[in-house]
Structure 1
Amino acid sequence: MLMTSRAVALAAAVGLVVAGTGVAGAAPDEDRIDRRVVQRVLDEMVRTGAQGVQVRIADGRREFTARAGTAEADSPEPVPVDGRFRIASITKTFVATVVLQLVDERRLELDAPVARYLPGLLAHGDGVTVRHLLQHTSGVPDYLAWLPDDAGTRPFTPGELVALIADEPLDFAPGTASGYSNTNYVLAGMLVERITGRPYGDAVTARILRPLGLRSTSLPGTRTQIPGPHARAYLRFDDQALDVTEYDPSFSWAAGEMISTTADLNRFLDALLDGRLVRPARLREMLTAVEGSGLGVSFYELSCGIPVWGHNGRILGYSSTVASSRDTGTRMTFAVSWAWDFGSVTGRQALMEEVFC
C-alpha cells in the first residue's frame, strides 16, 4: 500500500563491467574517459542517497558499464547492469518523436492549435499549438500540482489528468516563456491517439521500439511491476524505508510511464540524433532550444562548451539521464534507484563532465 504522502513526492518528480569499487578491462590511460573517475562519482551517488546506480557509456567504438550500490536493501547483490528502471520524463522524447513523424506524414501540423485536434478539452486550446506542447512553451499548468494523494494506488485516464487543470488560467501567454509542464505531454499523447485512432503506446511500439529492436523497453499502462531484472527503490519517512518499486504509473501516462534499460536508451538516442527516426528538417526543429528545451529533448550546458542533447527522468523511486554528443560519438545513460529522496544525491553533473569533456 502506498502512503498518501507519495503524491507530494510524485509531484517533485529522467561490455566491460565495473562493479563496486573495482575496475575491469583496459587500463584507464587507453581511454579518453577515466573509468576510475566514473566509479568514484557512482560511489559518491550511493554515499549521498542512492540505493544503486548503473551507467552505460559509449565512446567511439568502445562501450562499457559501471555500477555502485546494491539491487536491494540489506542485500549484497549488485545492481544489474542490464536492469530495467522507470525512465519517467525520458518518455517525452519517445512521444515527441512520434508526433514529429506524424508531422512529417502531414497528418498533423506543428503550428496548428491544439483545439483543432482536441476541441473543447482546454479552455485556452485555441492559443496553444502542438509546438508549444513539445517545447514546454504552452503556459498550460502542470497537473502534478493538483494530483490527488491516492496517485500510484489506482488507475488514472489521461482525460482525468487534463481535467485537473482544464479550467485553470495559463501560467503565461503561449510562446512568451518556457515552463516545464507534464500536462503538455499528456496532451501530446492524446494527440497521437486522436490522429492514429490507436493507443499512443501502439504508435511508440510500432514506430520506435520494434524497428530499433528495443526489446527491454515497455509501456506498463496500469501494471505495477517492473518486468525483468531491476533494482528496487526506496523512500524514507522518519528514518523508515518504504519500498516504492511497485505502483500504478498511469498518473504519468505519456508524460513519464515508460520502463527501459541503459542499452535501449543509448540505442534510441543514437538513432534519433542520427536522423533515422525523423526527417532532417524536423530534427533541426527538434534541436532548436528555447531556454534549454527543444521539442522533446533538452540541451545540457557543460563547462567545456561541447553541445550535449538528451533528457532527464525522475519519478518516485527512480531517476535517470540519457545524453549524447550531437554526432552520437559519445553517449551515456545512467539510472539511479533511490535509498533516500533523489534530491540528496550528488554527482550527475560531475559524471557528465567526465564523459563528455
Structure 2
Amino acid sequence: MKSEKIVADLSGASAPMALFVTGNGMPVPFGAAVGMADASINRPLTVDTPLRIASNTKTFVAAAMLRLWEQGEIDLDASIASVATPSLISLLQSGGYRTERITVRHLMAHSAGLYDHGDDPRFMQTVLAKPHHQWTREEQVRLSTRYAGPQSEPGTRFQYSDTGYILLGDIVERTTGQTLAAAVRKALRFEQRGLRSTWWEVLEQPPSDIEPRARQFFGDIDVTDIDATMDLYGGGGLVTSARDLAALTKDLFEGRVFDKPHTLVEMLRQGEHEGADTYRLGIAVGEVAGTACYSHAGFWGTVVYYAPQLAIAVSGFTTVRSARPELVSIIERALSDA
C-alpha cells in the first residue's frame, strides 16, 4: 500500500480525515491524518483521536455474541422470544412481529424483517430537536414498531436494522448478567489488545490520558454533544480511534479474537436469505478492484475494511458525515493500488 499516495489523497480532502493501516500484510503499520479535531482551539486530528463510530460497533457486538456461542452460552438459532427481555418482546409482538420465528442469527444478519428506526427521518428529526434527551432501549424499540411493522418474514431477506442490534445488545446483557460494555470488553479482551482509545460511552469511563473526542458534524450541525443514548445499545455505542479500530479489525480477521477458527468461519458464512451475498454476521462483504473485502461503516463518518488476500486492515475517520463517500474512495483507491 502506497503511503505517499494516501498522504497526497488525504491532503486534498474536503474535511478532516484520519486513516490507519495495519495487518500481517503490512510490515510496518502506517497512519496519517489531516485537519482539525476541534477547529475552535486548533487541535489537530490524529490517528489516536477518538470519535463516535456508530454502526462500526455492530461488528464487535456480533463478535461478542459469537464468542458466547463458541463458549456454549447462547444458541444462535434460538428464538429471541426465549432470550430477550419480555417487555421488548411484548413491544415487538404488539407491532405485529412473530417473535417466536425470529432468531438471534436473524438479528445478526439483518434478516429478521425488523423496521430500522434509526434510518427513519423522523428519528433524526427528533434527536436534533431534543439533543439532550436520554433515550432508553425500550423507547427505541417502541419507536420502530410505531413507525412501521414487519418488513418481511424472518430469515427471508436482508434489511439493515439498528433495532435488531439494540435487541442483540439486550440479549448479550441477559446472557452474561453484565452491561453490554463490560460483556463486549471481556469477550473481545480489550485490555489485552492495548486499545488505548476505546470505550463505551455512558456505560464506561473513558481511558485516562487520551485525547478528547473530535467534534463531529452532520451537515453544518455540530452533533458532538448530542446525548450518546440515541445510539448506545448495540447498534452503536463505541468510541475509538482510527488506530484502535484497525487493530481490532486486524485481530478479528487474523485469528486473535475467537478461541476456535470455526467461529470466524461461522461469522463469515453466507446465509440463504435474499441479500445474504452482501452481509454476513455483523460485517458487510464485497469487492474492491477484484479483491474480496469485508467492511463496515458508521453513520457519523467512519469506515473499516479488511482484505484477506492482502492481509491488510484499514480504517478511516472523518469528522464530517457528508465526507464519508470521499473517505471511502481514498481507502478503496489505496486498496486497489496495494
TM-score (norm 1): 0.79
Distance of 2:12 and 2:65 partners within structure 1: 38
Q: Greater CA deviation, 227-236 or 209-218?
A: 227-236
Segments of 4+ moved more than 4 angstroms? 74-77, 222-227
Q: Could you list the runs of 5+ residues in structure 2 that have no partner in the other structure?
A: 271-275
Matched, 1:114 2:96: no
Structure 1 match to 2:153: 173
**RMSD of Structure 2 on Structure 1 (CA):** 2.5
Alignment match of 1:302 (pick from 280, 285, 288): 288
Please say if residues 325 and 356 of structure 1, whose CA atoms lie closer than 8 Å, have aligned partners that are also in contact: no
* Cα shift at 1:250: 0.9
% of aligned pairs identical?
28
Distance of 1:235 and 1:273 partners within structure 2: 31
Distance of 1:262 and 1:90 partners within structure 2: 12
Please say if residues 56 and 262 of structure 1, whose CA atoms lie closer than 8 Å, have aligned partners that are also in contact: yes
Structure 2 match to 1:20: none
Structure 2 match to 1:291: 277
Structure 1 match to 2:225: 246
Please say if residues 82 and 229 of structure 1, whose CA atoms lie closer than 8 Å, have aligned partners that are also in contact: no
Q: Greater CA deviation, 322-331 or 247-256?
A: 322-331
Q: Which runs of structure 2 are paired with 1:1-357 in the superposition (5 Å)?
A: 33-46=1-14, 50=15, 52-58=16-22, 59-73=25-39, 77-118=43-84, 119=86, 120-121=89-90, 122-123=92-93, 124=97, 125-144=99-118, 145=120, 147=123, 148-149=126-127, 150=129, 152-166=131-145, 168-208=148-188, 209-221=190-202, 228-236=211-219, 241-253=220-232, 254-278=234-258, 279-289=260-270, 290-303=276-289, 305-315=290-300, 319-326=301-308, 329-338=311-320, 341-342=321-322, 346-357=326-337
Per-residue deviation, residues 244-300 of structure 1 (Å, max 9, x unmatched): 222211111211111001221122112211222222222112112413111011113
Distance of 1:66 and 1:281 partners within structure 2: 35
Q: Could you list the runs of 5+ residues in structure 1 that have no partner in the other structure?
A: 1-32
TM-score (norm 2): 0.84
Q: Which has the higher helix share?
A: 2
Please say if residues 87 and 313 of structure 1, whose CA atoms lie closer than 8 Å, have aligned partners that are also in contact: yes
Q: Alignment partner of 2:288: what SS?
A: coil
Q: Alignment partner of 1:331: what SS?
A: strand
Please say if residues 87 and 258 of structure 1, whose CA atoms lie closer than 8 Å, have aligned partners that are also in contact: yes
* Cα shift at 1:188: 0.4
2:149 alignment partner AA: P
Change (3 A) 1:225 1:274: closer
Distance of 1:115 and 1:86 partners within structure 2: 31
Distance of 1:107 and 1:139 partners within structure 2: 25
* Cα shift at 1:344: 7.5
Please say if residues 321 and 335 of structure 1, whose CA atoms lie closer than 8 Å, have aligned partners that are also in contact: yes
Q: How many residues align?
A: 311
Structure 2 match to 1:19: none
Please say if residues 222 and 248 of structure 1, whose CA atoms lie closer than 8 Å, have aligned partners that are also in contact: no
Q: Alignment partner of 1:159: what SS?
A: helix
Q: Alignment partner of 2:303: what SS?
A: strand
